[in-house]
Structure 1
Amino acid sequence: MTAQPTPRRHTTRIPLANAGIAVIAAHLTLLWHPWVAIAQDLPKAATRHHALSLIGKPMLEPGFAHFDWVNPAAPKGGTLRMGAIGSFDSLNPYSVQGDAPDGMGLIDDQLMISSLDEPSTQYCLVCEWVSYPEDFSSATFKLREAARFHDGKPITPEDVIFSLEAMKAAHPQFSFYYKNVVKAEKTGDHEVTFNFDSKGNRELPTIVGQLSVLPKHYWQSKGSNGEPRDLSKSTLDVPVGSGPYRVKSFETGRTIVYERVKDHWAKDLPVSLGLHNFDEISFTFFRDSIPAFESFKSGMLDSWNETSANRWYTQYEIDAVKKGMIKKEALAHKRVAGMQGFAFNLRRKQFQDRRVRQAFALAYNFEDANKSLFYSQYIRLGSFFDNSELAAKGVPQGRELEILKAFERELPPELFNTEWKNPVNPTPADFRKNLGEAAKLLQAAGWTSKAGVLTNAAGEQLTVEFLLVQPDFERIVLPYVKDLEKLGIKATTRIVDSSQYKRRLDTFDFDMIVHSVGQSHSPGNEQRNYWGSAAAAMNGSRNVIGINSDPIDRIIDQIVFAKDRDELMASTRALDRVLLWGHYMVPQWHYPNDRVAIWDRFGRPKSLPSQSPSSIMLYWWHDTEKAKAITAQKSQ
């Protein structure tokens, strides 16, 4: 299970390209503890729960005062100025149409809220309690009678039912995520029950708990254009929400300002104390990270989540840092690393042969890139579930082997007797050897070299275009391009703006991209959207690679319906191994910390949450005395 694919309330959009994984929606999962969550560890069925967890018992008991990782006495006030890359032309984050701005998740509350210090654990927010039967065939939520939208209207079961149906119709990601939820119905004055299409899926109560609750009365009224509103359409009408912030003002494509809802209905709940401390949060949009970073250094932005190893290492020797006005920190976290890499589009016929994809992997010199471009800061990714107990290790054994044996005829034979490893290039000689192996694979796949150019039997040249969304990643791709050219491959790069990039991804109009897939410690039905055959044929899905594999589909089903933690681990490791041996991506790297630079105007809790220590706009606060000191120091 990952976070619902909604706009990120607690994280901002940060460029994929320059660093470790920018996880869509903080996929909040713990890495370093050997969690063993078996069936009897789960909350008891048919009782009313204040929280749900897929890894065992929630840390906080009913009646808890507040989250441990907040300052419940944090002062309210001040402004946080953030930067974002790209643009926006819509204020509807739930539609496949248009680009919505960062921060839109701040305006809508969900049935439950994730704890940033517990992986795969949620506490009631809009709901008062949740219950489910022993067979996990449904989940019932009692709504808080005090829950209100910003216009004062109460949140009702009808709003929850509408939200599910409208979101599933609005975007393919939601239709996949809530695929197993066949119906929501009102079962009491303040009660709604979700019915599932099958039994035994332990994560479905948690999945529906992530549902954003939208106002039915607003979305079924007419918009500013006089036409009925439609959640599947883009719009610049300011929506009515129920969350801690509302849209105050915006300039399309350039800036947006959110203001704190001072009478927010949930502000005094234990799950809200110490959160949402800024009176205003603003986002300014930039074409790429270069002008955005310059704006941060000049003081126009308050914080910067650094994603570039080069910039972190070379571009902070400025007076503001030397004088302590800007604090530069690497904050340790315990998230699953997931996967980031060069992703193939299997809809392009030149990439449908696994040997071609493997040759591309052999031609990537990570060791040289890490040394020459990244100052040896990065760790190579070797799993789609890296840094977790879910990662495939060694050769398959035990239950994992049993799962894979069912597909033996459809899988590479080496998967069963060889440990998967990235190619390594400690010396130039090693890299030349790997290029030689790549050339042999390409020849075996039907590509022959004529005057240094690879062509197939039809005379077609082997080409690849890397589609990029920001210029500063081109310097990382160009060495790879040159090495591919050594094999006779015509390789090029193309940089487009964020709107065009989104459109081309939604319609799968690319050869290769830099792609990241965030993972959690409790994977589930989101894997269908990442790798499932049905998603490959649906525009706007996360299966940008275009994987269409019966073994993968069936292994995902085993993940979704795993009866206990051991079965989940075995099934996930099997999926990981099949993905790795399929060579669907050329793995890149990750960084084990969140790199943050921030003007020293803010306070923060003594203990930061393990899953998201850099979520500044969620639980940090404006410190008036620090801000005065910075102003005085800058004026000297």
Structure 2
Amino acid sequence: MTAFSRRDFLILGGAAATLPLLSGRTFADNPTGRKLHGLSAFGELKYPAGFTHFDYVNVDAPKGGTFNFPPPNWAYNQSPFTFNTLNSFTLRGDAPPRMEFCFDALMARALDEPDALYGLLAEAVTISEDRNSFDFYLRRQARWHDGSPLTAADVAFTLLLYKDKGHPQLALPLVEMAAAEALDTHTVRLTFTGKQPPQAILTVAEMPILSRTYYTQNEFEAGRMAPPLGSGPYKVGRVTAGQFIEYERAPDYWGGDLPVNRGHYNFDRIRIDFYRDRNAAFEAFKKGDTHFREEFTARTWVSEYNFPAIAGGRVIKREFPGEKWPAMQAMALNQRRAQFRDIRVRRAIAMCFDFEWTKRTLFSGSYDRSQSNFEKSDFKAEGLPSPQELALLKPFRDELPPEVFAEPAMQPVSDGSGRDRKMLGQAAKLLGDAGWKRSGQFVVNDRGERLKAEMLANDDSLARIFLPWAENMKSVGVDASVRVVDAAQYQARQTDFDFDMILLAFQIGATPAFAGLETIYHSRAADRPGTRNYAGTKSPAIDALVEAAGHARSRADLIVALRALDRVLRARLDWIPTYYLANHRVACWDMFGFPEPMPDYGFPVETLWWFDAGKAAKIGKG
């Protein structure tokens, strides 16, 4: 799954005033008053003006072929299981992943830098002296797929539309945008209130730009299967709702030779087939209907990649290093449900997850235990809080668990039996301390209501992991169950927060932006359907720490704020950290070329790989 963003802002009070200025480059290192070819969160750019391409691409990669794959991540209202609309930028409906390939943005991200953007639609940007206004200068050759020019009016129209009616991932980062105006045909000015995080412009600059003409004539929020007018490297080709979509490479794409695009978008056709059943999807890969598969089920990776195409060398199986960014996979306990608001209940439920048994029995030894929402990064808290972290935490001492001010909270280690009696005894005591008393098989509150916990899953392999956890919860008196629902129902219940417990994995980037943090943790996201605050967290302390991260003036400041946030999240257990995998487990039919090494901050195989006709002929796929 991919990282996301949200809503209004709370101005930091005392905590902001005490955030120290540490060493390191700041957003202020992006110069004002002159045209810039790129931006970064802390002013550091690897590529100079006039660069020809990113270092990690193959600029000589041939164009051609078809790439059929199940996307491992998606954004906005997209679903990997089904789709009923091609409108990906509103809340309702299910859109197919990668619709954003049909649209260009003002700037494009470099995948070998943690937070750098370079000009795509915009050839340059100027920052005002107060850093609240940004003038983007559009390339005069930018065109929509119908040949009409893409103008500053399209950009201004799009961002105002997103702010008013867009998916929360698009609307929330724009809350503090005060104006978007076309100064002339090729210059657009974006003005912010001054309350925005310094890096907010980076999120906005990556938003897909829409056609003002098209969406003046067609309702933006309508669920439509007619392909919208785009400008990007791909167009919608053949499509059958809920079954498959093909993106056809635009042969006359205006931006194909830009430095940010050279070596990218090499396939003539990207196809996504939709399967509601994991086994059916795997069978399609084994037959060669699907060409690439990233495997997320440990048992399958260990024991089921033994089919003839593997033995004959037509399918290759290997691991690629994971990105250099935080890993977050955790179980959200929905605090919109009263039974999960007591931290002792959340701790008891966490103690019922026997990771050691699960790793040995269900994961074939794969995966490591997550302790943090920022695993694998400098943002993971270690040791006692630093003086800088304490400066952020102390204003909220009365709200926070005492563990926040000690060594960071750790998930318990079981005896690996699957039913650790000591841990389960501690869980039962926590429930009793929280007012849940035994009444027969279950615990009840003072109104005689059972403590219920339904774990929502969309796949039998996930249910297989949940069931032992649920059995342990039952043993301490929780009326626990696992419910497997189809893809459409799962998506709807997730969007509307209609669940007790749900497992999610996020990519929040090497330099987590305020927009991404806000959608997962901030109070403003808690009551807005479509955000990622699945836990329903509402905490002034967490809000302030998210704000501190958003207003970080250097990478050192960002590390301080996120380590402090990590301490709070680990102590509160709004999200119970579960497990993570260090690498990408990949299998593919041996008919592709790819750059090595892959870049450190992204793994978009569909845009970086290419079709190798020679390899394909050798395996009968030419």
The two structures have a TM-score, normalised by structure 2, of: 0.92
Name the SS for the 2:511 alignment partner: coil
Residue of structure 1 aligned with 2:564, choices 574, 577, 592:
574
Q: Which amino acid letter does the alignment assign opposite residue 413 of structure 1?
A: P
**1:270 aligned residue:** 259
Counterpart contact for 1:138–1:205, Cα < 8 Å? no
User: Separation in 2 of the partners of 1:566 and 1:57?
Assistant: 14
User: Separation in 2 of the partners of 1:99 and 1:411?
Assistant: 39
Name the SS for the 2:421 alignment partner: helix
Residue of structure 2 aligned with 1:206, choices 196, 202, 225:
202
Counterpart contact for 2:27–2:199, Cα < 8 Å? no
1:338-389: per-residue Cα shift (whole Å, max 9, x none)?
3212211101111011110011111110111011111111111111111111
> 1:74–1:217: structure 2 CA closer, same or farther, 3 Å change rule?
same
Counterpart contact for 2:523–2:543, Cα < 8 Å? yes
User: Separation in 2 of the partners of 1:606 and 1:453?
Assistant: 55
User: Separation in 2 of the partners of 1:107 and 1:36?
Assistant: 41
Name the SS for the 1:173 alignment partner: helix
Residue of structure 1 aligned with 2:123, choices 111, 119, 128:
128
**2:349 aligned residue:** 360
**Deviating more after overlay: 336-345 vs 142-151:** 336-345
1:247 CA drift (Å): 0.5
Counterpart contact for 1:95–1:234, Cα < 8 Å? no
Name the SS for the 1:631 alignment partner: coil
Counterpart contact for 2:4–2:532, Cα < 8 Å? no
Name the SS for the 2:453 alignment partner: strand
**Deviating more after overlay: 152-161 vs 428-437:** 428-437
User: Separation in 2 of the partners of 1:512 and 1:632?
Assistant: 44
1:4 CA drift (Å): 6.3
**2:48 aligned residue:** 61
**Deviating more after overlay: 391-400 vs 156-165:** 391-400
User: Separation in 1 of the partners of 2:3 and 2:446?
Assistant: 46
**1:542 aligned residue:** 532
Answering whether residue 67 of structure 2 is matched by residue 72 of structure 1, we say no
> 1:66–1:632: structure 2 CA closer, same or farther, 3 Å change rule?
closer
Residue of structure 2 aligned with 1:593, choices 577, 583, 601:
583
The two structures have a TM-score, normalised by structure 1, of: 0.90
Counterpart contact for 2:456–2:500, Cα < 8 Å? yes
Q: Which amino acid letter does the alignment assign opposite residue 159 of structure 1?
A: D
User: Which residues in structure 2 correspond to 1:268-307 (within 5 Å)?
Assistant: 268-307=257-296
**2:19 aligned residue:** none
User: Separation in 2 of the partners of 1:61 and 1:586?
Assistant: 43
Answering whether residue 182 of structure 2 is matched by residue 186 of structure 1, we say yes
> 1:50–1:439: structure 2 CA closer, same or farther, 3 Å change rule?
same
1:173-195: per-residue Cα shift (whole Å, max 9, x none)?
32212222221112233111111
User: Which residues in structure 2 correspond to 1:210-609 (within 5 Å)?
Assistant: 210-221=206-217, 229-428=218-417, 431-526=420-515, 527-609=517-599
User: Which residues in structure 2 correspond to 1:128-147 (within 5 Å)?
Assistant: 128-147=123-142
**1:103 aligned residue:** 98
User: Separation in 1 of the partners of 2:422 and 2:307?
Assistant: 43
Name the SS for the 2:620 alignment partner: helix
> 1:428–1:402: structure 2 CA closer, same or farther, 3 Å change rule?
same
Q: Which runs of 5+ in 1 are unaligned?
A: 7-34, 222-228
Residue of structure 1 aligned with 2:607, choices 611, 618, 623:
618
1:34-57: per-residue Cα shift (whole Å, max 9, x none)?
x97422883322222111122442
User: Separation in 1 of the partners of 2:23 and 2:63?
Assistant: 40
**1:14 aligned residue:** none
User: Separation in 2 of the partners of 1:440 and 1:46?
Assistant: 63
Q: Which runs of 5+ in 2 are unaligned?
A: 7-21, 72-79
> 1:570–1:135: structure 2 CA closer, same or farther, 3 Å change rule?
farther
**Deviating more after overlay: 524-533 vs 209-218:** 524-533
**1:51 aligned residue:** 38
1:117 CA drift (Å): 1.6
**1:175 aligned residue:** 171
Q: Which amino acid letter does the alignment assign opposite residue 380 of structure 1?
A: R
User: Separation in 2 of the partners of 1:603 and 1:481?
Assistant: 44
1:518-572: per-residue Cα shift (whole Å, max 9, x none)?
2223223222221111211112222121111111112222222222222222111
> 1:109–1:140: structure 2 CA closer, same or farther, 3 Å change rule?
same
Name the SS for the 2:409 alignment partner: coil
Counterpart contact for 1:524–1:556, Cα < 8 Å? no
Residue of structure 2 aligned with 1:151, choices 127, 131, 146:
146
**Deviating more after overlay: 419-428 vs 444-453:** 419-428
**Deviating more after overlay: 172-181 vs 502-511:** 172-181
Residue of structure 2 aligned with 1:38, choices 22, 25, 34:
25
Counterpart contact for 1:161–1:184, Cα < 8 Å? yes
User: Separation in 1 of the partners of 2:222 and 2:251?
Assistant: 30
1:450 CA drift (Å): 2.4
Identity %: 37
**1:81 aligned residue:** 68
User: Separation in 1 of the partners of 2:221 and 2:27?
Assistant: 41
User: Separation in 2 of the partners of 1:464 and 1:347?
Assistant: 13
Q: Which amino acid letter does the alignment assign opposite residue 209 of structure 1?
A: A
Q: Which amino acid letter does the alignment assign opposite residue 77 of structure 1?
A: G
**Deviating more after overlay: 481-490 vs 598-607:** 598-607
Counterpart contact for 1:390–1:521, Cα < 8 Å? no
Q: Which amino acid letter does the alignment assign opposite residue 571 of structure 1?
A: A
1:198 CA drift (Å): 1.1
> 1:487–1:54: structure 2 CA closer, same or farther, 3 Å change rule?
same
User: Separation in 2 of the partners of 1:484 and 1:612?
Assistant: 38
User: Separation in 1 of the partners of 2:293 and 2:484?
Assistant: 23
Name the SS for the 1:220 alignment partner: helix
1:40-80: per-residue Cα shift (whole Å, max 9, x none)?
88332222211112244211111112111111111111111
**2:191 aligned residue:** 195
User: Separation in 2 of the partners of 1:162 and 1:515?
Assistant: 34
1:419 CA drift (Å): 2.8
Q: Which amino acid letter does the alignment assign opposite residue 191 of structure 2?
A: N
User: Separation in 1 of the partners of 2:115 and 2:310?
Assistant: 37
> 1:95–1:55: structure 2 CA closer, same or farther, 3 Å change rule?
same
**1:226 aligned residue:** none
1:286 CA drift (Å): 0.3
Counterpart contact for 1:342–1:512, Cα < 8 Å? yes
Name the SS for the 2:423 alignment partner: helix
Q: Which amino acid letter does the alignment assign opposite residue 347 of structure 2?
A: Q
> 1:394–1:431: structure 2 CA closer, same or farther, 3 Å change rule?
farther
1:134 CA drift (Å): 4.4
Name the SS for the 2:356 alignment partner: helix
> 1:116–1:565: structure 2 CA closer, same or farther, 3 Å change rule?
closer
User: Separation in 1 of the partners of 2:4 and 2:143?
Assistant: 22
**2:77 aligned residue:** none
User: Separation in 1 of the partners of 2:226 and 2:511?
Assistant: 37
Q: Which amino acid letter does the alignment assign opposite residue 64 of structure 2?
A: G
